[in-house]
Chains A and B, each alone.
Chain A
Amino acid sequence: MNPSQIRQRQPLQKRLLFTILPTVILPLLIAGGLGFASSQERGRKSELERLQSGAFLTKQATASFLNAKLGAMKVYAQNPEVRALISQGEVQVRTENLAGLPDQVLEERFKQSRLLAPSPSVNQSLNRLATLETLSEAFFTDRNGFNLAAGGKTSDFVQRDEEWWRQAKNFQTSIDAPKFDESANSVLFAISQAIVSPENGEFLGVLKAGVDADILTQSLRNYTQRNFNKSEIIQLVDGGTGKPITSLTEKGHEENRPLQGGEPIAQFLNGLVKMTPGDLTTKPNAEIQKYVQDQAKNLDLLDVKVQPQADGLSLWILAKQGDRYYQIQTLPRTNWLVVASETEAEVNAASQDLLKLFAGVSLLLSLVASGIVILLARQLARPLVNLTETAQKVTGGDLSIRANLEGTSETQTLGQGLNRLLDQVQTLLVEQQTAAETQRQQREELEQDVVQLMEDIGDAAEGDLTVRAQLSPGDVGIVADLFNSIVENLRDTAFQVKGASGQVEMSLDSNAQSIRQLATQAIAEAQSLRQILSSVEEMSGAIETVAQSAETAAALTDETYNTVQDGSQYMDQSVESIMNLRSTVGETAKKIKRLGESAQRISQTVSLIDEITLKTNLLAVNASVEAARAGELGQGFTAVAEQVGALAEQSAAATLEIAQIVADIQAETQAVVAAIETGTAQVIDSTQLVSVTKAKLASVLERSEQVNQLMRSISSATTAQTAASAQVSERVKAATLESEQRSEASEQMAQAIQDTAEIARSLQASVAQFKVEESVEEFVEESAIVQETVNELLAQEQEIQTPAVVA
């Protein structure tokens, strides 16, 4: 492992920090995050529930306010004075038949007081009711909608066409949309209560009064004194107009504040109040949900439920539009709704404090954990870092240094090991220096011996074989001894070469003789090969002749084959014409049979004519008899009857003749039929014969095909033979050429051997000139040349002899 690799790795301390720290801090952060998420959801839900309870409280307060006013009106209506006035009015209406008159006529008639039967005491008691119950403009009508009594002057006499009147008649109560009344300088809304007979529940009339919206607002403020959030608004809204009746905020109540959420919310509320009070009780929950869903066009519905209340069913809706949450609740039996809203930011703000707490605690715990981990890492890493520094110094060359033993037991053991290693390395270095000194001395001695030896044998390199090396003890002495023995051997070899060169000359002479013989033999061989060549060519000619004959035979066989094929075709044609003949004969037989049938019919017709003739004859006889009885008068008739009889007799003879002719025809046709049957049988026989012939022809065809193939194979074989004989002749030619070349070569070789013998002779002469003691080296070289030449010659001869034997 090289140092650069070590440097790339992280130090132990850093490594400890980076692995342990995340495992401690990550769980802390996850736990904090999960806790925050669940608490935030819970906070949001409780805030929305708080908003809902505000809406509910407002709604209940409004309902109880309205119930109190309507209750008071209901009790007032049971006043005996009032009941008496109602009864009086009924009598008047009945007697004057006012109920059936048109409204315009009635208005004209009662335009003075606009009361059916004005009663000052009842009007006064109505005014008192208004003062006590903080109402205004109280009046009531009878069951026909005609005014009976009023606190002030009313605008109309007939009320039966008014919406509030009809609604009160049908649903007991009616609450109108609020209107700004200029005279009172305040917002007013009218409430109507049906007057009902307590005895039998009979409808008697309607009592109507105005209520100041300020009084309602005041009452609501008293009821709903609670902590409002900054953006929280609770509004009591008339669904029909979409205008708020009163708005409650953090600052108390606000007059003339527009509806929170504007047009989308107004449309939605308008849609909700279009449901009749009966719908909520009768329709299934799913249908109501669907209706509400359809109305919610520009807002997100979060929750819809139908909540049972003391005075009927109420819709509770949670929706979101823009940046606000809306809690909407309907007031049973009215077009009014309570809308409580709050911004999304404020709803979510409930959980902001929790986020801060969780983040703070997580941060603190993370810091403490980090401190502990760093301290621990530092303690663990310090002894190892010291050891590393010691090792780095040793690598730099300082072997005298030793490591301090500290830290855990493992690091101490590691320090001890390092120290022991350093001791051993020092001992080894000292031993190595001693051994190097001894070796140097030995080498110097050896060099001196070698120089001496070189001086002794230097002349030998110049060819002086008489020199001898001085023998000395040691390795060099052994080398000198070896050299002396080599020079001795060289001298002996020179003597031997002198003798051998003489022998070589002699043997060369004899070799030249035998090579000449060989050349003669080769010439003879070439001649005989020429003879073989001529006979092979003759044979090749003969084979070609055979090939031509075979081809001619093949052509002849082809012709035969074609002829036989034509014959087979003609045979097919004759089979076909015989078949045609057969069908023609069959046709003829049929026609003849039909002729026979016709003859049969003629004979039947003839017998019919015979019958008629007989009858005619009898008639003629009878006519004659009758005519004879007539006496003189029948004379003429008798003549006619006789003539008829004669005609009948003639025709009988004629039919007899026809019958004879027909019988002849029938006999002849039968004979023809028999002849045709015989003919048909013959045709069948000849068809069979032709088929047999055809089969035979087919076999002939097959045989000729085989012959054709055999001829072709003979032809191809002879062609192959021709080619082979040509090849043989080629080979023989080549062999002749080769043997001629060989005879030439052997002659050349004989010449070469003679030349060599000359060289050997001159060599011997030159060796003889040398004195043994001095010319051994030269002789050795020359004799080596001679030996090589001889070897070459021998190899050539061997080469020449080997192909001759093969041929």
Chain B
Amino acid sequence: MQPALSTTNSRDRLQALLPQLFDPQVLVGDRFLRLQVDRAGTTIAITLEYIEETKTLTGDQITPMPNLPPHLLGLIASKGQVFWAVSLAHLWNLESDWQNRQQYEVAVVRLPGETEGENWVGLIIPKIRGTLRVSSTDLGAIDPAIACPIPRDQLQGMISQDDQPLWVIDIHQLRQGLEPSP
């Protein structure tokens, strides 16, 4: 700590405290965000490339709309955009207890459009588990022996880690799955 105190520059102090920030190492592998989607602990992974942000929402920040399917909870706003809040548990008919919660955890995803730009959508999930760096070798094909509660056509692959399977979502398929509804 002595060097940190002797330096007056805040940059120097930051450098002393977080040396890896100023000593970039090339980290290999793609990064994913892990999301728990039901009570049983089923976890999916979405590549961080499409993630805009993660945040928490209270119930009154979701504006409900009439004549909607059950997985569309309503409209939400963030960073100057208005977009739909989608409950993945409802979409995939999974067991969840998030209705009773006072605040929801939301992962805002940019869905790449085919013709125009990108579309934002808020995925409402029970728990955001954090990020994960996975080398391309770890990403494997779906083992049909393992039971999966999520429709297979939505998945890109799976990551085997700590006995628990991590289902990697194909973002294009997810977009198509959401497409017809609005």
Binding site for B on A (CB under 8 A): 614-615, 617-618, 620-622, 624-625, 628, 632, 635-642, 645-646, 648-649
Contacts and interface: CB of A to CB of B under 8 A. Distances in A.
A646 B27 contact: no
Given A624-B31, A636-B20, A646-B130, 12 more contacts: A614-B56, A618-B55, A621-B53, A621-B130, A621-B131, A622-B53, A624-B48, A635-B25, A635-B26, A639-B20, A645-B131, A649-B130
A628 B31 contact: yes
B21 interface: yes
A625 B48 contact: yes
Nearest to A624: B131
B17 to A, nearest CB: 10
A621 B33 contact: yes
Contacts of A641: 131
B23 A618 contact: no
Interface in B40-69: 48-49, 51-56
A618 B105 contact: yes
Tell me the interface secondary structure of chain A in the complex.
helix
B39 interface: no
Contacts of B24: 632, 635-636
Contacts of B152: none
Contact of B21 (A615, A617, A624, A640): A640
Nearest to A649: B130
A635 B133 CA distance: 13
B130 A617 contact: yes
Interface of B: 18, 20-27, 31, 33, 48-49, 51-56, 105, 107, 128-131, 133
B114 to A, nearest CB: 23
B170 to A, nearest CB: 20
Contacts of A618: 54-56, 105, 128
Given A621-B51, A640-B20, A614 B27 contact: no
B131 to A, nearest CB: 5
A621 B23 contact: no
A621 B133 CA distance: 12
10 contacts: A618-B105, A621-B107, A622-B54, A622-B55, A624-B31, A625-B52, A637-B21, A639-B27, A640-B20, A642-B131
A23 to B, nearest CB: 137
A637 B54 CA distance: 17
B131 A636 contact: no
Given A642-B131, A645-B130, A636 B48 contact: no
A794 B24 CA distance: 170
A637 B20 CA distance: 8
A637 B107 CA distance: 21
A695 to B, nearest CB: 61
B9 to A, nearest CB: 18
B11 to A, nearest CB: 13
A640 B53 CA distance: 17
A490 B182 CA distance: 189
A178 to B, nearest CB: 126
A465 B128 CA distance: 183
Nearest to B106: A618
B31 to A, nearest CB: 7
Nearest to A618: B54
Contacts of A620: 130-131
Nearest to B52: A625
Which of A624, A625, A628 has the largest count of B CB atoms less than 10 A from its CB?
A625
A483 to B, nearest CB: 167
Contacts of A622: 53-55
Contacts of B23: 636
A639 B25 contact: yes
Given A636-B20, A639-B20, A625 B53 contact: yes
B75 to A, nearest CB: 21
A636 B130 contact: no
Contacts of A649: 129-130
Contact of A636 (B22, B56, B128, B129): B22
Nearest to B19: A636
Contacts of A648: 130
B132 to A, nearest CB: 9
A269 B121 CA distance: 135
Contacts of A614: 56, 105, 128
A506 B130 CA distance: 168
B151 to A, nearest CB: 25
B162 to A, nearest CB: 12
B84 to A, nearest CB: 20
Nearest to B18: A640
Contacts of B18: 636, 640
Contacts of A621: 33, 51, 53-54, 107, 128, 130-131
Contacts of B53: 621-622, 625
A720 to B, nearest CB: 98
A625 B27 contact: no
Which of A614, A621, A640, A648 has the largest count of B CB atoms less than 10 A from its CB?
A621
A642 B133 contact: yes
B46 to A, nearest CB: 11
A620 B49 CA distance: 15
A610 to B, nearest CB: 11
A615 B105 CA distance: 10
A474 B53 CA distance: 191
A364 B22 CA distance: 169
A374 B54 CA distance: 165
B105 A635 contact: no
Contact of B51 (A625, A636, A637, A639): A625
A752 to B, nearest CB: 145
Contacts of B131: 620-621, 624, 641-642, 645
Contacts of A638: 27, 31
Contacts of B130: 617, 620-621, 645-646, 648-649
